[in-house]
Amino acid sequence: MINFTVGPVQSSDAVRAIGAEQVPYFRTSEFSEVMLENERLVKKFAKASDDSRVVFITGSGTASMEATVMNVFTEKDKVLVVNGGSFGHRFAEICRIHEVPYTEIKLETGKNLTAEMLNEYRGCGYTGFLVNIHETSTGVHYNPEMIAQFCKAENLFLVVDAISSFLADDFNMEQLAASVMITGSQKALACPPGVSVIVLSGDAVKRVESNSVKSMYFDLKDALKNMERGQTPFTPAVGILLQINQRLKEIDTIGGVEEERNKIANLANHFRAGIKDLPLDICSESMSNGMTPLATRNCSANDIFLTLKDEYGIWVCPNGGELKDKVFRVGHIGCLTREDNQVLIDALHDLVRRGILK
């Protein structure tokens, strides 16, 4: 199988080899050194400030989304949530569950967030802003500079879920004045799922330390204290953290985040050029390098997903709900090559010849 989903994605041979090893004991100085190196490299690639801190949560991206909301916002806040799909809706649900006052900026499927939309909320007493910068369910990549400009002007605490765009798209945490950035192990980090990552600015650390959280596992104060010595409060996904270390060092060796982003962008452009004459429509007003969302015209998108899986040995990303038969998504992250791209491009052309894609 060739994996063109947006997570879990294909891993390098070196990362997979670590997954085959026995999991070592982790309350050691050696593991602490690995974790501190993980923190240093994540901060480097996120372009975070020197006083930023990194927390590694054993849990999916949603775990870190919830942990962040719990630790940096309270019932005294008033938060704007960009809801352009499944993951924006998830942030809104987390705020509702934890009784954080919020307002949703609801977007139509595939539509971009604009400055005019944001202007409606100026001077309204908001204190925070939550955004999935790449709404993975629809493929829309929002403009981080525009959002940052709005948040700076309104003095908003900006939380950016960059789970599917970290390493794939340009992101400078310090320049954007983002207070929090979240990502996950199974996206462009190209490791197995199971670990999510929270990068906290100095101001965010202060907020975490001053808030009281009714949770043991998700109290980030405890996580920050333990990370001072390169450890976690509870048993982490040790093997995945070792794989993340390998992957971060791979990226650093090839030239850092810029080279990784360029590689992903080149794969995306190659794929998009190869399908331009097919009966498929790119259905996002603003795309990430990491994914291409494709709408079918006269056939079921889910049937295309199933046929590629069952007959061609290729995974693409299906959709659920009302988009199930309308849209499938093709990822460009992970250990993929142009040769892999061509296999998928040829398969899609073959589906046209067979009258399945029409």
d(CA 340, CA 5): 13
pTM above 0.95, yes or no: yes
DSSP H helices, the chain, are 13-19, 29-46, 61-72, 86-97, 115-119, 144-154, 173-176, 202-210, 220-227, 238-254, 257-274, 301-312, 338-353
Closest CA to 9 of 182, 236, 260, 249: 260
- What pLDDT is recorded for position 236? 98
d(CA 233, CA 57): 10
- What pLDDT is recorded for position 265? 98
Q: How many residues does the chain have?
A: 358
- What pLDDT is recorded for position 276? 95
d(CA 351, CA 146): 40
**Mind listing the pLDDT tens digit for each residue in 314-332?**
999 999 899 999 999 999 9
* C-alpha 150, offset from chain centre: 22
**Mind listing the pLDDT tens digit for each residue in 29-44?**
999 999 999 999 999 9
Which residues of the chain, if any, have pLDDT below 70? none
Q: DSSP letter at 59?
A: S
- What pLDDT is recorded for position 203? 97
- What pLDDT is recorded for position 18? 98
- What pLDDT is recorded for position 91? 98
What lies within 8 Å, CB to CB, of 149 at 6+ separation is none
Q: Which residue has the tokens 């093709």?
A: 330
- What pLDDT is recorded for position 177? 98
Six-digit token string for 4: 């063109």
CB-CB contact of 3 with 313 (8 Å): no
- What pLDDT is recorded for position 8? 97
Q: Which residue has the tokens 């899609």?
A: 348
**Mind listing the pLDDT tens digit for each residue in 58-78?**
999 999 999 999 999 999 999
* C-alpha 111, offset from chain centre: 19
* C-alpha 328, offset from chain centre: 18
* C-alpha 295, offset from chain centre: 22
- What pLDDT is recorded for position 97? 98
